[in-house]
Amino acid sequence: MTIRSPRRTLALRLTLPLTATALTASGLVAGAGPASAAPAAWSFSGTTAHGAMTVDDGVHTGSVPADTPYTGTVTFDTTASSVTGPYGGGTRTRYPFTDLSFTALGTTVHSGPGVVDVFDDVVRSSAYPSGDSVYVNFTGQVAPDGPVGGVPFHWIGLAFLDAGGTAITGGRLPADLSLGPWSDTFSEFNFTSGGSPNSGTTTMLHPMTLGGPVDPAGPGGSGGSGGSGGSGGSGDETCSGSDGVVTDVVSEELLEVDGGTDPWDRLWIGDLTPATTTLLGGATTPAAVGRILDWTGDASDDGCHLTALTVRPSVQIATTQVPAGRVGGSYRAEVVPAWGVAPYTVTIGGLPEGLVADGGVVSGVPRTAGRFPVSVEVVDAVGGLSATTLALTVTEAAAPPASPVRTGRGIVRRVEDGLIVVRTPDGRLTLGVTSGTRIDVRTGRVVRHTLDAVRPGATAVWRGRILPGTGRVQLDRLTVRSPA
């Protein structure tokens, strides 16, 4: 019998060393025949790489930031037979698996059934590298869960590569994949980038570490003894949950999640060890209000006695700074939430004139220069709150480039309001005089330095800068020879 809170789903993620015993039980070790035991499962973990996985195509909008921790499990059908055939000068042996799950940013995606392809001594192939390799492949149907961070996943896979060709013998899985002579191990996420759910065309490869064995049937069959301070599990009932928020630390061994209104929201943690506890995002203990928990354990009248636990921080704001803007220039910035439980509601305030916020995206054309304290508030799906203030600097618009200094000559047509209109071989120009303009007006032997000494018909020689598009010259120096 399995007991679940209506808000719970099974989520097992460990990081133990993979043992030969676990694989022998699954019937996948060299020389082992098909087994009749319950399906076996492995765990894996890592962090996303190669920048953010982002979809913004008018149908889907979301992002999984770089360096986002992820965990998962792959569950094998240990009673099914393997099939071996020739491939690329070597062999391919195919084993089935029943489920591949991937968890990040508080959301779990299940791939459904698929296959494990074991390639032995491949020497030529357009799809797989030479040598030995192991690929855990989702069969192709769209992952039913998600999206993760707004990104709808199409399929997920795991890969182990050995260019030296020593990892695989006789097409059998090695006794311990975590210790194989792999030249590379990675996870592969393919997510949709268009309106159709089958249009996944963007594939991201991420570093991956294989963890330990996980019992997909739950640990209740072993008859757990229960945590200290409780009455212990019954041995034939299991309890599990995900995205639970710690609302009370009753003692060092007892936590309550989501207000403790459900009997199995009382979590006994006394039997946990470092090997059965995964701490993510800098968390050092599960015993803190606001922590997000995924767990499995043995059910009892006094609660759930945990046998495995993953701990995540409450919702945070991953963005610590935003780019500067310029008056009159196009601007875009994004505030990215992390941890907690997706989806998130992002509220942004204090933006300068010309900028607007749509969720976590700020865009527009700023019209005011200055340094603006921008308030950011993120609320996750379980009510967790994170707030911060980010400094947004907007600089003045760039000054237009100055025209080069020019010289010229022309005949004065008229003088009015501090301006001299002259006729030149290229047309008419207006000369502007400022307090810094040097003026020499020569009439016979007399030299005057005032604008009112300039007369129509005089010859003007000038130096200054032509103001683009105005037909006006800003004068540095003006020499005028007036008729006597």
Where exactly are the structural domains of the chain? 2-214, 219-312, 316-395, 405-482
- Give the CA distances from residue 104 to residues 22, 275, 391, 406, 422, in Å, rounded to whole numbers and listed in that order: 26, 20, 29, 65, 74
Look at residue 97 and tell me whether its pLDDT is greater than 80: no
Hunting for tokens 């701990």 — which residue is that? 311
pLDDT attached to residue 76: 66
Of 197 and 476, more confident: 476
Round the average pLDDT of the chain to a whole number and report it.
74
Query: How many CA atoms does the CB half-sphere of 425 hold within 13 Å?
Result: 2
Do the beta carbons of residue 255 and residue 287 sit within 8 Å? yes
Per-residue pLDDT, 449:
73
pLDDT band at 175 (very low <50, low <70, confident <90, very high): low
In the chain, the percentage of residues whose pLDDT exceeds 90 is 17
Query: Is 277 strand, coil or helix?
Result: strand
Q: 405-482 adopts what CATH topology?
A: OB fold (Dihydrolipoamide Acetyltransferase, E2P) (2.40.50)
Provide CATH code, domain 316-395. Answer: 2.60.40.10
Give tens-digit pLDDT for 9-37: 222 222 222 222 222 223 333 333 333 33
Q: What is the pLDDT of residues 207-235, one digit of tens each?
A: 777 666 665 544 333 333 333 333 333 34
Buried b (16+ CB within 10 A) or exposed e, 181-216: ebeebbbbbbbbbeeeeebbebebebebebbbbbbb
Q: Give this prediction's pTM.
A: 0.40
CA 421 to chain centre: 63
User: Is the confidence at residue 441, as pLDDT, over 90?
Assistant: no
Average confidence (pLDDT) over 37-45: 65
Q: Per the structure block, which two tokens stand in for 3?
A: 């007991």
Measure the CA–CA gap between 428 and 422, rounded to whole angstroms. Answer: 6
Distances (CA, A) of 484 to 440, 450, 481: 15, 17, 9
The pLDDT value given to residue 179 = 61
pLDDT at 122 over 70: yes
How far is residue 464 CA from its own chain's centroid? 55
Q: Do the domains at 316-395 and 405-482 have one common CATH topology?
A: no
Is the model's pLDDT at 381 over the cut of 60?
A: yes
- Residue 386 to residue 315: CA distance in whole angstroms: 6
> In this model, does residue 468 exceed pLDDT 60?
yes
Q: Determine the pLDDT at residue 201.
A: 52
pLDDT-based confidence at residue 5 (cuts at 50, 70, 90): very low
What pLDDT is stored for residue 204 in this prediction? 67
What does the pLDDT look like over 447-462, one tens digit per residue? Answer: 777 777 888 888 888 8
**Phi and psi (nearest 5°) for 41?**
-140, 150
Bigger pLDDT: 195 or 250? 250
Which residue is listed with tokens 């470092």? 274
Q: What is the pLDDT of residues 261-310, one digit of tens each?
A: 666 788 999 889 988 999 888 888 898 998 999 999 888 878 889 999 99
* 219-312 carries CATH number 3.50.50.60: no
Report pLDDT for 81.
58
